[in-house]
Amino acid sequence: MSEPANWRDLVLALDDRRLDALARAAAATVEGLRWPHDTPRSALSPAALRELVRADAVCPEDGRDLDEVLRDFATTVWHHGVVASDAACVAHLHPPTLVPAVATELAIAATNQSMDSWDQAPAATEVELHLMGWLAGLIGFGPAASGVMTSGGTASNVLGVTLARSAAAAQSGADVLKEGLPSHATDWRILCSDQAHFSIQRAAAQLGLGRDAVVGVATSAAGSLDLGALDEAIERLAREGRRVVLLVATAGTTDLGAIDPLAQVAARARRLGCWLHVDAAVAGAFLLADSLRGRLAGIELADSVTIDFHKLWWQPFNASALVVRDEATFDLLRVRSDYLDRGDELEGMVNLVGRSLDTSRRFDAAKVVVSLRTLGRRNLAEMIEHLVALAAHAGEVIDAEQSLSLLARPTAVTCVFDAPGASADDLREVQQRLLARGELVLGRTQIKGRAALKFTFMNPLATTGDVDALVRVVLDELAAVRASN
Ligand SMILES: Cc1ncc(COP(=O)(O)O)c(C=O)c1O
């Protein structure tokens, strides 16, 4: 039996003794990551997993030896997760991560800088601002632009919609932070495509505008916003006396990877005098690749842009950014506090709390910067281009299969398909049986009411041979499901 843990050894002071203990624990943790299965997840059922996890008390009366706890945690938890780096883990925008990012996660946690105030994060504040300035430049924004790291695409979109709402209120002379929504806000509308991420609706719901304030505009078969439909919606809303306060364009929809016509949507936003938010959570990384950047032409005309580093930039969760064309717009968010955002700091001491919906906040910019410096743009571009090519290859293979049918030709990293003659229940069974056996973590969605299966390619180590094998697995399972029904 090991000695009970002593808290004095475990508080992470940055001294030799504790750092040596951390290095040993990190090495033991890495050992525990060695995957004991040949599938992207173990085949344990939900009930078996619950029993396994609950067999160990959350907080025993006396602590245990760290090595032992880590070893047990590996065999009960890490070994029953999903392996995002497995070529058969293709359900979601769920990437494998980068060695420099994961190594930096350790330092982020060990040093625990907090991004709300300069006195909790001196160099870290400068790093985040440096990263935001670079990202703003990549988007094509001018020198007034900046941004803030958030916990994800949802949080970035909510922040973008929040700024748009406050800007709309300010335009009509209302101080929404102080007084709440003005009475005429019931007429405010947000326009986005019917393929926009649900976080736009969620933002409208949370901000008191209501989900019904979000008007979904029809999309093409490929999933991008139809400009004719947008114009009709704008005219209809004007006739009804509604005010469009925000246009949202998506650069890379969740399912089809479609990119809305950004420049044309921007022209409408300018004409309406409203905010333009571009949700580039998925395809923002295309800005890194010469062959793909052109598809995002017009993104530089946005007022705010969501970029998700924890998607096609291979960062561990959480890592996202909301970048704004004009840093001063963050003032629309500001609620001052006497202990943090005092406004009387020494020259150059910036408290980032003023631009975030969070107060205490992780130094996630660190892992992004270390990763970008280590890989460089060219490597990242190659990785992204490879995934786009894999999705295109999947599209060709599926197109050539009589028993499968593409919903749209892949243009980004997803490939969405169904099977002629197969019901939605058949497709559900295919996905669920493969997941239950742990063999293939496959996506399942609906496009305009049509049930479909989905591959999402996030692993740059995957090959066309892997893709061919995935299609084979789906075909075999489909045949088995059909034979059993
Ligand atoms: C287009 C788009 N925007 C936003 C999000 C939300 O991102 P997150 O899961 O990081 O909150 C997603 C998630 O898949 C997405 O596909």
Segment 452-464, tens digit of pLDDT: 999 999 999 999 9
Long-range contacts of 421-425 (CB under 8 A, 24+ apart): 422/478, 422/481, 422/482, 423/451, 424/451
**Residue 250 and residue 195 in contact, taking contact as beta carbons nearer than 8 Å:** yes
Closest by CA to 299, choosing from 315, 282, 312, is 282
What is the per-residue pLDDT for 343?
Answer: 82
Residue to probe by mutation, ligand 1, list 92, 156, 194, 199, most atoms within 8 Å of CB: 199
In a domain, 403, yes or no: yes
- The mean pLDDT value for 108-112 works out to 98
Phi and psi torsions of 344, nearest 5°: -130, 35
What is the per-residue pLDDT for 322?
Answer: 98
> Is the pLDDT at 286 greater than 60, yes or no?
yes
Are 339 and 387 in the same domain?
no
Cα 106 to ligand 1 centroid, rounded to whole Å: 25
Instruction: Check which CATH number belongs to the domain holding 354 and give it.
Output: 3.40.640.10
Are 388 and 357 in the same domain?
no
Q: Residues near 237 by Cβ (< 8 Å), separated by ≥ 6?
A: 189, 191, 215, 243, 244
Are 288 and 396 in the same domain?
no
Are 356 and 386 in the same domain?
no
In a domain, 244, yes or no: yes
Are 320 and 278 in the same domain?
yes
Tell me, using a 6 A CB cutoff, whether residue 160 lines ligand 1. Answer: no
Q: Show the tokens assigned to 463.
A: 């090959």
Tell me, using a 6 A CB cutoff, whether residue 151 lines ligand 1. Answer: no
> Is the pLDDT at 317 greater than 90, yes or no?
yes
Cα 402 to ligand 1 centroid, rounded to whole Å: 33
The closest residue, in CA terms, to atom 16 on ligand 1 is: 254
Are 258 and 335 in the same domain?
yes
Tell me, using a 6 A CB cutoff, whether residue 254 lines ligand 1. Answer: yes
pLDDT band for position 181 (cuts 50, 70, 90): very high
Cα 94 to ligand 1 centroid, rounded to whole Å: 10
pLDDT in tens, 26-35: 999 999 999 9
- The mean pLDDT value for 258-267 works out to 98
pLDDT band for position 1 (cuts 50, 70, 90): low
> Is the pLDDT at 344 greater than 90, yes or no?
no
The closest residue, in CA terms, to atom 14 on ligand 1 is: 254
**Residue 150 and residue 352 in contact, taking contact as beta carbons nearer than 8 Å:** no
**Residue 115 and residue 124 in contact, taking contact as beta carbons nearer than 8 Å:** yes
> Is the pLDDT at 118 greater than 70, yes or no?
yes
Q: Tokens 């000695």 appear where? A: 3
% residues pLDDT > 70 (the chain)? 100
| 312-316, 332-336, 435-439: least confidently modelled range | 332-336
Structural domain count of the chain: 3
Are 13 and 161 in the same domain?
no
Are 418 and 356 in the same domain?
no
- Alpha carbons 485 and 480: distance in angstroms, whole number: 9
Cα 281 to ligand 1 centroid, rounded to whole Å: 6
- The mean pLDDT value for 397-421 works out to 97
The closest residue, in CA terms, to atom 7 on ligand 1 is: 153
Are 348 and 225 in the same domain?
yes
pLDDT in tens, 160-177: 999 999 999 999 999 999
Residue to probe by mutation, ligand 1, list 279, 309, 458, most atoms within 8 Å of CB: 279
Q: Show the tokens assigned to 364.
A: 């996630």
Cα 311 to ligand 1 centroid, rounded to whole Å: 9
Tell me, using a 6 A CB cutoff, whether residue 197 lines ligand 1. Answer: yes
C-alpha dist (Å) from residue 84 to 96, 373, 423: 5, 23, 29
CB atoms near residue 237 (< 10 Å) = 17
% residues pLDDT > 90 (the chain)? 96
User: What does the DSSP assignment read for 289-354?
Assistant: -HHHHGGGTTGGG-SEEEEETTTTT-PPSS-EEEEES-GGGGGGG----SSS--S--STT---GGG
In a domain, 217, yes or no: yes
Alpha carbon 137 to chain centroid distance?
21
Instruction: Check which CATH number belongs to the domain holding 412 and give it.
Output: 3.90.1150.10
The residue segments making up the domain with residue 32 are: 9-80
Atom of ligand 1 nearest to the CA of 253: 1
Beta-bridge mates of residue 146: 324
Q: What is the pTM of this model?
A: 0.97
Are 336 and 383 in the same domain?
no
> Is the pLDDT at 311 greater than 80, yes or no?
yes
- Alpha carbons 269 and 485: distance in angstroms, whole number: 51
Closest by CA to 451, choosing from 430, 436, 466, 433, is 430
CB atoms near residue 180 (< 10 Å) = 12
Cα 401 to ligand 1 centroid, rounded to whole Å: 31
Q: Tokens 């736009």 appear where? A: 200
Tell me, using a 6 A CB cutoff, whether residue 282 lines ligand 1. Answer: yes
What is the per-residue pLDDT for 104?
Answer: 98
Cα 190 to ligand 1 centroid, rounded to whole Å: 18
- Alpha carbons 119 and 55: distance in angstroms, whole number: 43
The closest residue, in CA terms, to atom 15 on ligand 1 is: 254
Tell me, using a 6 A CB cutoff, whether residue 255 lines ligand 1. Answer: no
**Residue 370 and residue 104 in contact, taking contact as beta carbons nearer than 8 Å:** yes
In a domain, 95, yes or no: no
Q: Tokens 């979904």 appear where? A: 216
